[in-house]
Each structure stands twice: as C-alpha cells, then as structure tokens.
Amino acid sequence: MKYDVIVIGGGQAGLAMGYFLKNSNFSFLILDELSEIGEVWKNRYDTLKLFTPHDFSSLPGLSLDSNSYPTKNDISEYLKLYAKKFSLPIQMNTSVNKLFLDNDEFVIKTNQGSLRANHVVVATGPFQKPNIPDFSTFLSEDILQIHSSEYKNPKQLTNGTTLVIGGGNSGAQIATELSKDRKVFLAVGHKMMFLPQDIGHKSIFWYFDKLGVYKAPHDSIIGKIVRRKPDPIFGFELKRLLKNGRITLKSRAISSENNVIIFKDQTQLKVDNVVWATGYKPDYNWIEIDELFNKQGFPIHNRGVTSRKGLFFLGLPWQHNRQSALITGVGEDAKYLYNQLITNSPNT
C-alpha cells in the first residue's frame, strides 16, 4: 500500500501532524507500536502532574479541559479525544522496524507488513532509550535500580537508603514523592534553579509566553541563553524538603562499587535503591538512510527538515525552540512541516 505521507509515531507530535494533514488532499496514515492512543502518558509514574498548566498543554484545534495542572491521565484521555474528534487515521500495534529508500520512495517495514510513501514524518518521541551511566553495572545485584521511565510509585522500591540521580523535573518529582516515607538523597550535577509555578494569578508559562522565552528560536540570543541553562524546577516543594533535611543534596554521581555510590566531591553513600533520572538517548537504528544522524545519533535537520527530500522529524527537543518537545509547542512545528510538504508537492 502506498501513501503520500506516513507518520511514524502517534503521540502528541504524530497527532498534531495528522491534524494538519487532515486538511489536505494528502493520503496519509499514522503508525504506532502501542495498543492505545495516549499510552506513553498512561505508563508514566502514577502521581505525574504536568509542569505546564492546562492553557499551555493543548494541541492545535482543541483546548484541553482539565484542572489547572493536568495529570498524566488527563493528557492520555485528551490525546484519545483529539484523534477521535479529527478522525485521524491511526494504525496501532504497528511497530516500524525498518525505514529505507527504494529509488525515491520510502519503504516502511512493520510487524504488520510493508508500506510505501513519498514522505515520512518520524514522530517517535524525544525520549527513546533510558540513558543510564555505565558505572551502574558495578553496583551489586542486591541494589534495586530503576530508571525514571520504569518508576511508577514508591512500592516498587525496597526499604532503606534511596538515591535519586538526576535533577531535572522527573528526578525532582520522584525524590519529592519518595521523601514522604523515607530518607532520600538526590545527586545533581548542576546548580538547581527553582521557579514559581504561578506568579499572582498567572502561571509562569504566561510570563514566558509574553516575554517570548520558550518561543525564542534555538539560534537566537534568548534561545542560546535558555539552552545553556539546565531546565528549571517548577515549584518550591523540593527546595523546602532540601532545606528541612527530608532530602539531602549530593554532587554528581561519578562511579559505584558494590553497594556504594561515589560522588564528584569524593563523598560516598551506601545505597539500597537507586532511581536513575538521568534522561534518555536517541534510538534510530531502524532508519537505514545515510547521512541523517550526527555522531551522537541525533538527527541532522533544520526545523525538522532533513537533507533527504521527503523525510522529516517532529517532536525533537529544541527542534525550533524550547516548546518544540512540549504539548503547547509541537503544533507550530507540525504546521511548519506541513507547509514544507505542500511546497514540495505543489500538485497535492
């Protein structure tokens, strides 16, 4: 079967792309390996609340209706509703395991057979493979280790000393939750910056929006400043817990041995549980097209447009700006790619 456009990935990025394609004459199909729309969000930890408020958590064409800070289930349900409202053609349970070119056509090999397309949009998510440092393997088998992507709730851990490694918003939220019934250590490799979630009656995202902070292109002066800084932690709960000693801050974890983690400041800690909130790395091994990736395995692109005619990426961190991998920003990038598709296919 051949389509004008195949979108690989039916998360928020793939659905936003579908929204624009639906208004065109392109024949298209969205493929996703999971069995349910919104499953990525559903599988995240139980108490996950978004750091973006509801008025900064919508895709084009449909406002999210939720409490001020949506839960992960609000987003999961919202994505289902979104796909239904716009009757987006999605084929679930379809894992793409190979993408290559046959002359000028893309061949998309899946567990459900092969498809062909003139254009492909890869929207497989900014978070692919857990990025866990190699020294994790030096820890004894008795230590419970879990990556933040597998963490659901405190019941998964054993009693005893718990170390969360990584000071982004996931690490901060998980450490905060765990500190309710145990002593928690948090290893962070940078100086943490805390920002209020709301100022007066307005969310901080309202101010970001007015000041253009999150919309600043990655190569603008503001964009470069935001990029250099680690992501801020929204809200002050963690700051309070650090102050009152429920959570103890450690420097960057650099090595381990048996049941001990060693930190950059040469201190050590005996641990029973380690939560690796150390981020993700790309995994595009299934794309067999030359000259698409840099040495670190990230796509080489300009606003999602690659040097390979007809091949696009969507939902990448900093694809265009800080919002690109957030719900509120992916629509703008999808619209940009849609316009590129139209320009490349004037007769469609």
Ligand X SMILES: Cc1cc2nc3c(=O)[nH]c(=O)nc-3n(C[C@H](O)[C@H](O)[C@H](O)COP(=O)(O)OP(=O)(O)OC[C@H]3O[C@@H](n4cnc5c(N)ncnc54)[C@H](O)[C@@H]3O)c2cc1C
Judged by CB under 6 A, the residue of 5, 30, 40, 186 near ligand X is 40
| CA dist list (Å): 30 to 80, 154, 196, 256, 305 | 14, 36, 38, 43, 18
Name the token pair of 7: 């979108």
| CA dist list (Å): 38 to 9, 41, 150, 154, 196 | 11, 6, 17, 23, 28
30 scored as a contact of ligand X (CB under 6 A) = no
> Which residue has the CB atom at the shortest distance from ligand X?
11
Q: Which is nearer to ligand X, 123 or 184 (CB)?
A: 123
| CA dist list (Å): 85 to 27, 41, 63, 91, 121 | 18, 19, 12, 16, 22
11 scored as a contact of ligand X (CB under 6 A) = yes
Write the interaction track for ligand X spanning residues 50-69; mark x where CB under 6 A is met and - where it is not: xxx----x------------
Neighbours of 196 (CB within 10 A): 13
Of 6-14, 135-143, 196-204, 333-341: span binding ligand X (CB under 6 A): 6-14
Residue 33 to residue 172: CA distance in whole angstroms: 30
Of 155-163, 205-213, 243-251, 319-327: span binding ligand X (CB under 6 A): 319-327
Neighbours of 138 (CB within 10 A): 14
Q: Which is nearer to ligand X, 76 or 162 (CB)?
A: 76
Of 32-40, 131-139, 194-202, 210-218: span binding ligand X (CB under 6 A): 32-40
Write the interaction track for ligand X spanning residues 111-150; mark x where CB under 6 A is met and - where it is not: ------------xxxxx-----------------------
Name the token pair of 102: 């046959």
Which residues contact ligand X (rule: CB under 6 A)? 8-14, 31-34, 40, 44, 48, 50-52, 57, 95-96, 123-127, 170, 286, 315, 325-328
